[in-house]
């Protein structure tokens, strides 16, 4: 900032000027007297005194008329500079100085008025901005909620559409199993393929809308990423070798043997990328590589799991790379004619990656190929010796062929598959009867473990359909049922099942039954129907705890993860007064709680079931409250044992 120039006061200047004037007048008068030779010291002194008095009067007058008003003005200007709009004192001199002061005050007054006006405008503007922001916020909220409603509608619709689709496919399968003329068989096969692609599309839409409606919940369960990649790649091997391209997969040495996360969703991500790579590549190779990177700065999920799928396909042009992750987008119009597809695969893949808070990137060069890389934050279990490896005394059994577990409840799925895998069995899982029929069409199984109550196609009907095919007349089917008391056992046997197991499944009994029935089927043991002894569920659960504490820990986690959604469903059923739904959900909850020996939750769910039967909604709400608080207590207990 420039330095202010220094001013000497007007008063000082006047005083100096007057003093010089006085001396000059005295000197002139004295010099005149001296030349006339009548110089008198007395006269000189008198003259001096008079002149001094006159000078003092002039000086005082000047200060009052000029200096003081100017000082006021200066103060006013300084205030103005500092942003203070203050009126100054105006000296009544009735001249230009007074006019100057009044003008200054008038200017300050008009400045103050315009400042107030600006302030008012600013406040108005701020209020407008605030109102606009609120309106925009509301618009955004309603857009979001309508998008949520749309996604939920889509999710429900595609779910509903899947049921008749499964019926169509099932019926076509049935007709295809009967004697047919060649062209009839061809037509039906075409119809079946169309129905399957429609079902795949419905599944895609269901997935996408589930994610968009925020209804996709990720699991936290251990899995072997090498196994997962190899499983996925194997499903594409036949197609790849038919096209004459090589398909390879590898994992870096430092990739932990056990990662923790949602293997199902990861499988979906990889399957989408792999099927695209194989679909679009005409020659050369497709390679999947897995690597990890430590991210110690992250307390949760301190690994980056990096999966890259590289192909030597046609590549994607830079301008298309931007859009291929959007819904229903294909790189060019001829794609769907040449390769089929809907343009949903990569949209789902990206959403799934986003749900994981991960990242997906693609590097591609036209004519050279593309590499899709997925980076997903993950957890890993300490590289302890694989418990399975130690507990595999019956490895030899693995050679006898895989077991198909048909079960929609993830906890039961986990228990049964874990127990079987531990014994060295290869296990496939189908989540409903229709999937089981599809799996049977693809692969031969040594035995099926079949849940009874399932969506889409229940265990009884599935078994009847399987038995209609003479090829599966001797295939052992063991029911897993939660209600051994109410005639389910008879219904299972009538439908054509060989045996039944009560839930929660006792692992020793399960293994005994599976081994026995596989032996029966292979002709090494006498055929006989075996039923589970009526056993106390709590005892079975605690035996399971003894057998594998880590498994129970995982089940507990899974139970706690699923609990809020289940409680929500129960609450909706209770609020809607839907007794049937309430009872069936309450029983599911009861079964799940039994498998982790959570007695209080079992009891509360049982009371809820009874309340549903009596249509006693007050009791239902009460039991629901107890159930909720028991779940919270269980969560607290689990957390306090973990930390």
- Using CB under 6 A, list all residues that contact ligand ADP: 276-277, 280, 311, 313-314, 316, 324, 329-331, 335, 341-347, 370
Nearer to ligand ADP, 207 or 224 (CB): 207
CB of residue 313 to ligand ADP, shortest distance in Å: 4
Write down the least CB distance from residue 320 to ligand ADP, Å: 7
Indicate the DSSP class of residue 487: T
DSSP structure string for 514-572: HHHHHHHHTTSS-----B-----HHHHHHHHHHH-HHHHHHHHHHHHHHHHHHHHHHHH
CB of 270 to ligand ADP, least distance (A): 13
User: CB-wise, 179 or 340, nearer to ligand ADP?
Assistant: 340
Give φ, ψ of 98 to 5 degrees. Answer: -65, -40
Dig out the tokens for 627 from the structure: 């159930």
Nearer to ligand ADP, 291 or 335 (CB): 335
Question: At its nearest, how many Å lie between ligand ADP and the CB of residue 197?
Answer: 11
CB 428 within 8 A of CB 456: no
Q: Which position has the token pair 């991500």?
A: 269
The nearer residue to ligand ADP, 316 or 418, going by C-beta atoms, is: 316
The nearest distance, CB 233 to ligand ADP, in angstroms, is: 15
* Position of minimal CB gap to ligand ADP: 341
| Choice between 279 and 503, CB closer to ligand ADP | 279
The Cα angle at residue 637 between residues 631 and 643, in degrees rounded to 5: 135
d(CA 399, CA 230) in angstroms, rounded, equals: 19
CB of residue 345 to ligand ADP, shortest distance in Å: 3
By beta-carbon proximity to ligand ADP, the closer residue of 350 and 583 is 350
- Count of CB atoms situated within 10 Å of the CB of 174: 13
Tell me the closest approach of the beta carbon of residue 419 to ligand ADP, in angstroms.
37
Q: Which sign does the torsion angle of CA 593, 594, 598, 601 carry?
A: positive
What is the distance between the alpha carbons of residues 358 and 378, in angstroms, rounded to a whole number? 9
Structure tokens at 180: 């047919």
* Residue 528 Rama label (left phi>0; alpha psi -120 to 50; beta): beta
What is the distance between the alpha carbons of residues 118 and 125, in angstroms, rounded to a whole number? Answer: 10
**CB neighbours (10 Å) of residue 450?**
29
How far is 397 from 293, CA to CA, in rounded Å?
38
DSSP code of residue 64: I
For residue 473, CA distances in Å to 52, 370, 460, 498 come to 141, 48, 15, 11
CB of 336 to ligand ADP, least distance (A): 6
Q: Residue 315 or residue 433: which is nearer to ligand ADP going by CB?
A: 315
Q: Which lies closer to ligand ADP via its Cβ, residue 87 or residue 329?
A: 329
Instruction: Answer yes or no: are the C-beta atoms of 514 and 500 closer than 8 Å.
Output: no
Closer Cβ to ligand ADP, 296 or 340, answer by number: 340
What is the closest distance, in whole angstroms, from the C-beta atom of residue 569 to ligand ADP in the complex?
A: 32
Integer angstrom CA distances of residue 602 from 391, 471, 585: 31, 41, 12
Closer Cβ to ligand ADP, 274 or 555, answer by number: 274
């Amino acid at each position: 900032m420039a330095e202010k120039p220094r001013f000497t006061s007007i008063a000082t200047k006047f005083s100096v000027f007057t003093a010089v004037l006085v001396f000059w007048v005295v000197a002139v008068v004295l010099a005149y007297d001296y030349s006339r030779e009548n110089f008198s010291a007395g006269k000189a002194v008198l003259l001096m005194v008079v002149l001094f008095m006159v000078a003092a009067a002039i000086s005082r007058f000047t200060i009052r008329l000029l200096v003081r008003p100017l000082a006021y003005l200066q103060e006013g200007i300084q205030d103005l500079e500092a942003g203070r709009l203050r009126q100054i004192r105006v000296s009544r001199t009735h001249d230009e100085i007074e006019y100057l002061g009044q003008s200054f005050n008038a200017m300050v007054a008009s400045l103050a008025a315009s400042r107030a006006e600006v302030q008012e405008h600013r406040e108005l503007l701020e209020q407008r901005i605030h109102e606009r922001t609120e309106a925009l916020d509301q618009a955004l909220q309603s857009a979001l909620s309508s998008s949520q409603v749309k996604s939920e509608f889509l999710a429900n619709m595609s779910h509903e559409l899947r049921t008749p689709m499964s019926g169509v496919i099932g019926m076509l399968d049935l007709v295809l199993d009967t004697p047919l003329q060649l062209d009839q068989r061809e037509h039906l096969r075409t119809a079946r393929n169309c129905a399957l692609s429609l079902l795949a599309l419905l599944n895609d839409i269901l997935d996408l809308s589930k994610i968009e409606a925020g209804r996709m919940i990720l699991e936290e369960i251990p899995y072997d990423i090498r196994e997962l990649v190899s499983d996925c790649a194997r499903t594409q091997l036949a197609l790849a070798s038919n096209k004459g391209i090589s398909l390879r997969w590898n994992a870096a040495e430092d990739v932990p043997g056990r990662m923790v996360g949602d293997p199902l969703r990861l499988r979906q991500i990889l399957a989408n990328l792999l099927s695209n790579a194989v679909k679009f590549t005409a020659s050369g190779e497709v390679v999947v590589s897995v690597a990890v990177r430590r991210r110690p700065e992250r307390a949760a999920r301190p690994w980056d799991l990096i999966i890259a799928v590289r192909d030597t396909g046609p590549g994607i042009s830079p301008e298309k790379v931007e859009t291929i992750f959007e819904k229903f987008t294909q790189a060019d119009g001829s794609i769907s004619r040449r390769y089929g597809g809907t343009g949903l695969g990569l949209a789902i893949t990206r959403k799934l990656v986003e749900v994981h808070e991960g990242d997906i990137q693609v590097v591609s060069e036209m004519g050279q190929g593309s590499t899709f890389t997925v980076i997903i934050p993950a957890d890993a279990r300490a590289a302890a010796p694989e418990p399975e490896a130690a507990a595999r005394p019956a490895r030899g059994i693995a050679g006898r062929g895989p077991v198909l577990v048909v079960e929609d409840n993830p906890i039961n799925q986990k228990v049964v598959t874990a127990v079987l895998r531990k014994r060295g069995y290869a296990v496939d899982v189908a989540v409903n009867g229709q999937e089981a029929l599809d799996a049977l069409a693809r692969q031969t199984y040594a035995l099926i473990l079949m849940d009874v109550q399932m969506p889409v196609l229940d265990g009884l009907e599935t078994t009847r359909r399987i038995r209609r095919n003479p090829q599966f007349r001797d295939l052992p089917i063991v029911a897993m049922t939660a209600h051994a008391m109410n005639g389910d056992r008879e219904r299972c046997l009538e439908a054509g099942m060989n045996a039944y197991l009560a839930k929660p499944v006792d692992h020793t009994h399960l293994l005994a039954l599976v081994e026995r029935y596989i032996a029966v089927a292979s002709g090494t043991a006498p055929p006989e129907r075996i039923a589970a002894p009526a056993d106390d569920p709590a005892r079975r659960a605690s035996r399971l705890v003894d057998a594998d504490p880590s498994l129970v820990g995982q089940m507990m986690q899974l139970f706690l993860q699923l609990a809020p959604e289940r409680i929500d469903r129960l609450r909706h059923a209770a609020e809607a007064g839907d007794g049937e739904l309430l009872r069936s959900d309450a029983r599911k909850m009861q079964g799940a709680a039994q498998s982790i020996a959570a007695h209080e939750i079992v009891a509360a769910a049982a009371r809820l079931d009874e309340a549903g039967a009596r249509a006693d909604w007050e009791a239902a709400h009460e039991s629901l409250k107890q159930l909720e608080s028991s779940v919270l207590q269980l969560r607290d207990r689990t957390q306090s044992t973990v930390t």
